[in-house]
Structure 1
Amino acid sequence: MTEKRMKMLMEFAQPESLIPQNVKPLFDVWLRDTHIILARDGYYYCTGTTRAPGTENAKLYNDGIRMWRSPDLRQWEDMGLVWSFEKDATWQNRWYAPGGGGRECEPFSDQAHRAVYAPEIHQINGEFYIAASMNWPPQEPGEEGSCTFLLKSASGTAAGPYVDVGNGPLTHRIDASLFVDDDGTVYYVWQDGRVAKMKRDMSGFAEDPHRVPQQHFSPEPYCEGAFIFKARGKYHLCLAIWTMDEGDHLEYSVGSVPQKVSYDCVIATADSVYGPYGERYTAITGGGHNNFFVDKDGRLCATMFGNPVNESYAPFYARPAVIPMEWKGERVHPARRENDG
């Protein structure tokens, strides 16, 4: 990054939100939407959006959900595909062309889409679940087309095999997550802060979905990657958002092509899972679509992957990583040590 470019970017980013330069990829695999948990068996499990061998566009086509595990966040074991279209998919095996009004088409044709993305692994009452998104015919006028669904491990282990809980999409739109409150109530969370309480048996929703009230930016940019965690007695709604400096949406051009500068993790806080959520702040500049977890040492950590934008704030592109976090008052930001950069 040029000195001139860095100076301009720094005008739009708070230093406390920047990713420390000593944050490195956990392993060398193309991965987006990194999600990590610490399970009861003592392993960390990692998943995210992956590409099938020989493909470039993971949202056009991929082969399923891959997973890795580690005892220490340093040494990682590749568990391979824990859910695949070939072996495990049922209703998900539909190929369609999003530009053609959701019409079905021949597999692997030029316009054919069939990909699963942004999977998250969760352990609830000892059982492993994966919430995920995939291409799906549009349900509303002007919508790109997508849906979310929920899988449960039939073996009780993170390795699966996984079976569909709802026998079909649970929602349209994207980026499904699960949040477990202190009383054991489970909530399904997706897109930009849409929430629905789950039935006790996790077979579906126990209430009508709704979008939580929150303070929006003006103008409101596109929001995705919703994730809720609870800390210090508060509920923290995390969103992935194309924005800078608490609401300023900065764009620049390379030639005639507009370039979005940064893909950030913003957070808003509430006293109830249903909100209302207050003012958003940028927790991690360049760290959009991530999750938060507590490691074996009791540290709050965030995941990241680095979105492919020219000269972005992320130190690398499409690789899984973990950022130790720290509280500064009521806000959480990357933890810093001397010489972190």
Structure 2
Amino acid sequence: MTLRLRRVAAASLALAAAATLVSCSAGAGEGATEAAPDAASESPFAPVIDEDFPDPDVLATDDGYVLYATNDSRRNVQVARSADLVEWEVLDDDALPELPDWVIPGKTWAPEVTEVAPGQFVMYTTTTNFSPSRQCIAVATAESATGPFVVQGDGMLVCPDEEGGAIDASTFRDDDGSLHLVWKNDGNCCGLDTWLQTAPLSADGLSLTGPPVRLLKQDLAWEGDLVEAPTLVKRDGVYHLFYSANSYGDETYAVGHATAPALTGPWTKDPEPFFSTDSTDGALIGPGGQDIVTDAAGDDVFVFHAWDPDFLARKVYTLPLVWDEGTPRVVVP
């Protein structure tokens, strides 16, 4: 059943041809303490989900689009649906209503859902493991894109204790049909480096079929002490890795971008953020937790969250993502 219908106009994709193209950076997490930077009183950016709905992941289905988000006080995984990526219906249902006894409830973050076969959906979520007591990645399945998903197995799919755990899973399907999991080891929890890593998945998405390969870590000044929230796409034979970096709870959170000729690298980072608070003159604060989805017209859409001015909610926004001779750019109004 549904709780309410969100009918908030998104920044129109029709503005793409006339809008200014810029690059910037973003991120995700919970809580915040710093004051918001100055922003225009009349923002040109309107959220498509005007409430706390962080770490958005969007799945395109035959029936439209489904968006998943980090837990709130009532649901382990929030979920919404849309026919057009503009008007979103936030569902009252919990997409992951039950957690196993080896999970500590209360922190079910950054869900990622992929359809591994018609009518077979797999969800990867960041959850807190009892032993070792780390944030790690669990896997769940459902026969409907909106759930209910059921956690599979008797333990985490990815949980490297010596690396601080693992969070922020995403999936990537290569041109040969192979499915891959991409994630971040949670090294910033304990003074370690944070590596974005990948490993091949079984056809059913329930197990890794090879060892992880490290792709890149935090090594630029703007990234602070972490990189996270990887999103991997391939365009014209080039692999593009988008990621969030720095402190999710303030305006330093931003999105980075790197490219590689092969999935395992070598990866070359852009030196500056791809999308950030500065990219929007402070109108969007700490954008990040990004995803990329292709709409019905075949155009890419950049989906992300950003803080409200009081740092009380991370709302969901969408903007066109265009490719200028192989270089991605977010179109801002």
1:42 corresponds in structure 2 to: 63
Match of 2:200 in 1: 197
Q: 1:133 to 1:76 in 2, by over 3 A?
A: same
Q: How much does 1:37 deviate?
A: 2.2
Note if contact 2:110-2:126 (Cα within 8 Å) is conserved in structure 1.
yes
| Counterpart-to-counterpart distance in 2, 1:116 and 1:223 | 19
* Residue-by-residue CA offset, 1:161-190 (whole Å, 9 max, x unaligned): 212234321123211111111111111111
User: For residue 290 of structure 1, what is the amino acid of its counterpart?
Assistant: Q
Using the alignment, how far apart are the partners of 1:234 and 1:81 within structure 2? 38
Cα 1:44–1:201, aligned 2, differ >3 Å: closer, same or farther?
closer
Question: Residues of 1 paired with 2:152 and 2:175: CA distance?
Answer: 23
Instruction: Report Cα offsets for 1:110-169 as digits up to 9, x if no partner.
Output: xxxx32011122223322221110123575xxxx8311112111xx21122212234321
Inter-partner Cα distance in structure 2 for 1:284 and 1:37: 22
User: Which one scores higher on RCO, CA 8 angstroms, separation ≥ 6?
Assistant: 2
User: 2:91 matched to which residue of 1?
Assistant: 79
Identity of aligned residues (%): 22
**Stretches of 4+ moved more than 6 A in 1?**
308-311
CA contact (8 A) 1:64 1:81 kept: no
Q: How many residues align?
A: 269
Aligned to 2:245: 241
Q: What's 2:108 paired with? A: 116
**In the aligned structure 2, how far is the partner of 1:164 from the partner of 1:324?**
34
Matched, 1:334 2:330: yes
Select the residue among 233, 238, 260 that pairs with 1:270: 260
| Residues 1:212 and 2:212 aligned together | no
Residue 308 (structure 1) shift: 6.5
- 2:202 alignment partner AA: K
CA contact (8 A) 2:321 2:331 kept: yes
Q: Determine if the alignment matches structure 1 residue 91 to structure 2 residue 101.
A: yes
TM-score norm. by structure 1 comes to 0.70
1:278-315 deviations in whole A, cap 9, x for unaligned?
1235221143221111111211111111146889xxxx
Give the letter aligned to residue 241 of structure 1. A
Query: Could you list the runs of 5+ residues in structure 2 that have no partner in the other structure?
Result: 1-19, 26-39, 159-164, 185-194, 277-285
- With over 3 angstroms needed to count, the CA separation of the structure-2 counterparts of 1:201 and 1:51, relative to structure 1, is closer
Structure 1 gap segments, 5+ residues each: 1-13, 54-62, 96-113, 244-258
Q: Equivalent residue for 1:151?
A: 140
Give the distance between the partners of 1:132 and 1:238, measured in 2 at CA: 19
More strand by share: 2
Deviation per residue, 1:4-51 (Å, 9 max, x gap): xxxxxxxxxx98125995331112221111111211x13111111132
Contact kept in structure 1, 2:254 and 2:287, CA below 8 Å: yes
SS in 1 for 2:263: coil
In 2, the alpha carbon distance for the partners of 1:50 and 1:88 equals 13
TM-score if structure 2 supplies the norm length?
0.72
Partner of 2:52: 30
| Higher-Rg member (1/2) | 1
Distance 1:159 1:215, change over 3 A: closer
In the other structure, the counterpart of 2:4 is none
Q: 1:292 to 1:92 in 2, by over 3 A?
A: farther
Pick one of 46, 53, 78 that aligns with 1:66.
Answer: 78
Q: Secondary structure at the match of 2:93?
A: strand
CA distance 1:137–1:238, change in 2 (3 Å):
farther
1:185 aligned to which of 165, 170, 178: 178
2:319 to 310, 314, 323: 323
What is the CA distance between 1:93 and its match in structure 2?
4.2
